[in-house]
């Protein structure tokens, strides 16, 4: 079975493929949209779920195949939800992980409440006009520390500390992160729903 991954983010693709391989016994072919020449989808919406659905539909329409999309990011309540849906472009349109993390540290400099959470919305669409797409969500709660720790992960992982694990996302192995992360949780929930609907 082929499911196109509607993402161009190398870190997300790596985590999604690893999580699917770990929990799904079926033989899945998981090309990313770019490998099939699909254009990047616009993400104009104010919620992760709406953007994830837009990406899945765009890729399914272009490829004629089922698509699985992820829209996710970091939410800091003390910053009115920022970076939120703009997590990948928080610093500016050409932002990278380093510039985004520097902006976040600057914004948090005088903030006492450092609680934060990662959120992921996952959508499976059998076709562009699928009237009943499958969706799932996942949360990963933690706090923003004052300086980066660790060399793994991507995005805000060096600043995102999980007190239950005692590590930042960037200090965890890929397996540890998939067990506790927003994306890992959302994927496991999505797979249960796909099996329940007998799609997998």
pLDDT, one tens digit per residue, over 43-67 is: 889 999 999 999 999 999 999 999 9
Does the annotation count 71 as an active-site position?
Answer: yes
Q: Give residue-wise pLDDT tens across range 24-38.
A: 655 778 898 988 988
Instruction: Classify residue 155 by burial, with Cβ atoms within 10 Å: 0-12, 13-18, 19+.
Output: buried
Looking at the DSSP bridge assignments, the partners of residue 39 are none
pLDDT at 194 over 60: yes
Tell me the C-alpha distance between 71 and 45, whole Å: 11
The catalytic residue among 70, 71, 97, 162 is: 71
Rounded mean pLDDT of the chain?
A: 92
Q: Which of 157, 149, 70, 154 lies closest to 116 in space, CA to CA?
A: 157
Tell me the C-alpha distance between 200 and 41, whole Å: 26
Instruction: Classify residue 112 by burial, with Cβ atoms within 10 Å: 0-12, 13-18, 19+.
Output: exposed
What's the confidence (pLDDT) of residue 26? 59
**Is the CB of residue 43 less than 8 Å from the CB of residue 71?**
yes
Q: Which of 196, 152, 159 lies closest to 178 in space, CA to CA?
A: 152
Tell me the C-alpha distance between 152 and 123, whole Å: 26
pTM for this prediction? 0.91
For residue 111, count other CB atoms closer than 10 A to its CB.
12
Q: Give residue-wise pLDDT tens across range 174-193.
A: 889 989 999 999 999 998 99
Provide the 8-state DSSP code for 67.
E
Tell me the C-alpha distance between 54 and 71, whole Å: 10
Which strands make up the sheet holding 134-144, listed edge to edge? 3-5, 66-75, 115-125, 134-144, 160-162, 167-168
């Amino acid at each position: 079975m082929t499911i196109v991954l509607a993402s161009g983010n190398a870190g997300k693709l790596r985590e999604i493929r690893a999580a699917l391989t770990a929990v799904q016994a079926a033989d899945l072919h998981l090309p990313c949209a770019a490998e099939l020449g699909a254009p990047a989808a616009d993400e104009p919406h104010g919620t992760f779920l709406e953007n994830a659905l837009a990406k899945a539909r765009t890729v399914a329409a272009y490829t004629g195949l089922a698509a699985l999309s992820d829209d996710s990011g970091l939410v800091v309540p003390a910053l009115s939800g920022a970076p939120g849906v703009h997590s990948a472009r928080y610093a500016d349109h050409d932002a990278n992980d380093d510039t985004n993390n520097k902006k976040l540290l600057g914004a948090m400099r005088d903030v006492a409440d450092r609680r934060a959470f990662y959120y992921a919305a996952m959508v499976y669409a059998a076709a562009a006009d699928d009237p009943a797409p499958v969706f799932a969500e996942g949360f990963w709660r933690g706090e923003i520390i004052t300086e980066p720790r660790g060399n793994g992960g991507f995005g805000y992982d060096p600043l995102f500390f999980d007190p239950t694990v005692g590590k930042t996302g960037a200090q965890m192995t890929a397996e540890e992160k998939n067990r506790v992360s927003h994306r890992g949780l959302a994927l496991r929930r999505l797979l249960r729903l796909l099996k329940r609907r007998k799609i997998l």
